[in-house]
Amino acid sequence: MFDNQIPAQQTSSSQSSVTFDAGLRAHMSRIYNRMTLGVLVTAVVSYFVGNSPELLNLFLNGPQKWIVILAPLAIVFFGFNPAKMSAKGMSVSFFLLSALYGISFASIFALFTGESIASAFFIATSMFAGLSIVGYTTKKNLDGVGSFAVMGVWGVFILALINLFVGSSLIGNLISVVSIIAFAGITAWETQRMKEMYSPRADAEMMSRMSWLSALNLYISFVAMFQSILQLMGNRE
């Protein structure tokens, strides 16, 4: 009797493990697909605005440019609350933010060569993929890395404010280097957190909200690394 029960228990455990792994893969795939769509929206909007003098003048030539520049921050801080917003509402906020970032980045097509933009995008994509793999596969707890990276982001913010008044190219390069390192750490840490937060017993709506939040965090990390790499290595027109 006991001999028959043991294989049955093992089979049930194996089936549960397979179900969990399949659910986790679907969850992670959903996050990366959403993040990728956000990057695509940003790239398309940036390309069309950057190649239209009329649109560039409309959005980025005058005091209205501060609305375009600061609006994404408002969305990040006030437009992503999984506890209060629906998944649909978060999706609207995410794609609106992606479009606004696209408008903000439109000027890079006038400042940098096409080869530089393509090269920076390739490097950022390669780094992001490698860091995501590390975050997904490592057994080491990355909370310490995440805390250090967040401190680095605050350091970048403070340096950027200082450089608004100083206008130093040296400080600008330092900002780019620190930003790349900080958001690299956040990418690996966030990937690990995404994996750990998954639960097959969680409500589908809540998991969708959390996946939008994770997609946003990864999107910001990717965009920040791309922008910093371009500023550091790009050839200007």
Beta-bridged to residue 37, according to DSSP, are none
pTM attached to this predicted model: 0.85
Identify which of 192, 165, 180, 193 has the alpha carbon closest to the alpha carbon of residue 222: 180
Segments forming the whole domain that contains residue 175: 2-233
Look at residue 19 in the predicted model and tell me its pLDDT: 64
Among 16-25, 35-44, 133-142, name the one with the lowest average pLDDT. 16-25
- What would the mean pLDDT of 76-85 be, rounded to a whole number? 76
CA 43 → CA 99, 113, 139, distances in Å?
9, 15, 34
Quote the CA–CA distance of 106 and 102 in Å, as a whole number. Answer: 6
Structure token pair of residue 76? 């990040």
CA 204 → CA 16, 89, 95, 114, distances in Å?
18, 15, 21, 42
pLDDT band at 197 (very low <50, low <70, confident <90, very high): confident
Q: Which helix (H) or strand (E) holds 64?
A: none
Torsion of CA 83, 87, 88, 90, to 10 degrees: 60
Domain count, the chain: 1
Look at residue 210 in the predicted model and tell me its pLDDT: 87
Please check the confidence at residue 151 and state whether its pLDDT lies above 90: yes
Beta-bridged to residue 112, according to DSSP, are 236
pLDDT band at 128 (very low <50, low <70, confident <90, very high): very high
Structure token pair of residue 23? 């659910």
pLDDT band at 222 (very low <50, low <70, confident <90, very high): very high
Among 61-70, 91-100, 168-177, name the one with the lowest average pLDDT. 61-70
Which single residue is written with the structure tokens 């029960």?
A: 5
